[in-house]
């Protein structure tokens, strides 16, 4: 913003930012590391793993299947000792974690026993057929109890190869098929309309599997004759880009200072939000770029910035779907009208995020509305103030918490515990990087 807008913004935002911080381990990579390690006959050390509720759901499910997963404690490695999976004696409890449910379905497709999966009330509202349909085409048997949702049962077995043309870009669908191919040691190909997150195929390549990647196509030719017997190995998990996005947003909305966000994953399929922010005029730079276990990592330096509106195209959404809530908060402070195209997928996340983003922005004094599948946010200098309904959705909670800290805490959240689903210690970290003027 320029002119009078800048002057008013300085009156509204009363927080400076300082110091260095490291985001928690990447949630997507943590899930995949646990699943892949559990399918081996080896002992795998996983460093930097996320110890949030979602990742713990994955560990709990694997323990129910007979896998030895050591306790998950912040700052400590987790050891996974793979062995033959056994039929669980009870329903697999996936908690609130859609990633756990969908990746587990893929891995279970290669096992010759029946397993029932369920989760909490939020997870039981989320669609599952997008994953189960290709698994059924490969030879798994799925029994639904509640239509396109959990609970459901899956019986795996001898799987057939598949070339699956996915109607939507979805890293969870793609990863479920790849894990089914790994568990059953059969070739699979996934073609997407737009490339989604590629953590699974990167992990497969790091482990030496025969994987070929094109722009929108992934071909997995199998794990080899010795699979699942492999040598012990170590996986390192970089900081979660989606969690870092909230720290980036906090620094951008501050009055001054500088924040260093260390050891952050900058996988190109995860940093679409940084490209959008660059168009909006955000001052974010990368330093110390390197690779860790096949994943690109960097340190981010963020400075407070005056932002301009932009249009986020439909082809960009798969690479930043989790960051739309916090980008929408930033758009409410940008100069002009920002449009997020084709974000209907947000309706089937942990909550109806699309509706709640618009409702909550209006509740705190911003201008936002849903137009079909698009989200439109008009920026202004009006101070944020009001009550926010999080619906126990961690990304809504953190996005509006950032808005609240930048508005002298004039935002009241309906709850705050849900942040721990993906970012334990989020509020402590937010306090730590902020200095009141």
pLDDT, tens digit (0-9, with 9 covering 90-100), for 34-89: 999 999 999 999 999 999 999 999 999 999 999 999 999 989 999 999 999 999 99
pLDDT at 409: 66
- 194: buried, middle or exposed (CB in 10 Å: 19+, 13-18, 0-12)? middle
pLDDT in tens, 141-195: 999 999 999 999 999 999 999 999 999 889 999 999 999 999 999 999 999 998 9
Beta strand 367-371 with 374-378 is antiparallel
Peptide bond into 151 cis (omega under 30): yes
pLDDT given for residue 2 in this prediction = 24
State pTM to two decimals.
Answer: 0.90
Report the pLDDT value the prediction gives residue 436, as an integer from 0 to 100: 60
322 labelled catalytic: yes
Q: Is the pLDDT of residue 418 over 90?
A: yes
Predicted pLDDT of residue 181: 98
pLDDT score of 113 more than 50: yes
Identify the active-site residue in 322, 352, 381, 437: 322
Tell me the per-residue pLDDT of 303-343, one tens digit each, with 9 for 90 and over. 999 999 999 999 999 889 999 999 999 999 999 999 999 99
Q: Which residues pair with 427 in a beta bridge?
A: none
pLDDT at 4: 28
pLDDT of residue 351: 87
In tens, the pLDDT along 216-246 reads 999 999 898 899 999 999 999 999 999 999 9
């Amino acid at each position: 913003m320029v002119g009078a807008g800048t002057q008013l913004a300085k009156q509204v935002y009363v927080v400076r930012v300082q110091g260095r911080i490291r985001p928690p381990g990447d949630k997507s990579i943590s899930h995949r590391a646990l699943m892949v390690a559990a399918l081996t006959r080896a002992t795998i050390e996983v460093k930097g793993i996320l110890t949030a509720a979602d990742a713990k759901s994955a560990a709990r499910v694997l323990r129910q299947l007979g896998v030895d997963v050591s306790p998950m404690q912040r700052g400590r490695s987790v050891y996974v000792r793979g062995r033959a999976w056994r039929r669980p004696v009870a329903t697999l409890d996936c908690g609130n974690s859609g990633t756990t449910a969908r990746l587990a379905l893929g891995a279970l497709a290669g096992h010759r026993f029946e397993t029932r999966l369920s989760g909490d009330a939020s997870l039981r509202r989320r669609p599952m057929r997008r994953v189960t349909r290709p698994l059924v085409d490969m030879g798994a048997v799925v029994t639904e109890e509640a239509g396109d949702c959990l609970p459901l049962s899956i019986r795996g077995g001898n799987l057939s190869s598949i070339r699956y043309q996915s109607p939507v870009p979805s890293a969870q669908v793609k990863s479920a098929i790849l894990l089914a191919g790994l568990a059953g040691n059969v070739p699979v190909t996934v073609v997407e309309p737009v490339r989604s997150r590629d953590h699974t195929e990167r992990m497969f390549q790091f482990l030496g599997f025969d994987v070929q990647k094109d722009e929108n196509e992934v071909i997995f030719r199998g794990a080899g004759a010795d699979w699942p017997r492999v040598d012990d190995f170590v996986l390192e998990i970089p900081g979660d880009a989606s969690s870092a996005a909230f720290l980036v947003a906090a620094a951008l909305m501050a009055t001054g200072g500088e924040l260093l966000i260390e050891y952050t994953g900058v996988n190109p399929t995860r940093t679409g939000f940084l490209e959008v922010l660059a168009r909006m005029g955000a001052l974010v730079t990368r330093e110390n770029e390197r690779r860790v276990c096949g994943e690109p990592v960097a340190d981010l330096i963020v400075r407070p910035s005056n932002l301009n509106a932009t249009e986020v195209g439909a082809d960009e959404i798969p690479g930043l779907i989790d960051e739309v809530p916090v980008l929408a908060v930033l758009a409410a402070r940008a100069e002009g009208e920002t449009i997020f195209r084709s974000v209907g997928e947000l309706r089937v996340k942990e909550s109806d995020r699309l509706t709640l983003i618009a409702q909550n922005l209006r509740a705190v004094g911003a201008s936002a509305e849903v137009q079909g599948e698009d989200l439109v946010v008009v920026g202004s200098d009006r101070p944020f103030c009001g009550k926010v309904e999080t619906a126990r959705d961690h990304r809504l909670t953190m996005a509006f918490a950032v808005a609240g800290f930048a508005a002298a805490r004039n935002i009241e959240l309906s709850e705050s515990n849900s942040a721990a689903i993906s970012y334990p210690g989020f509020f402590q970290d937010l306090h730590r990087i902020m200095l009141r003027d």
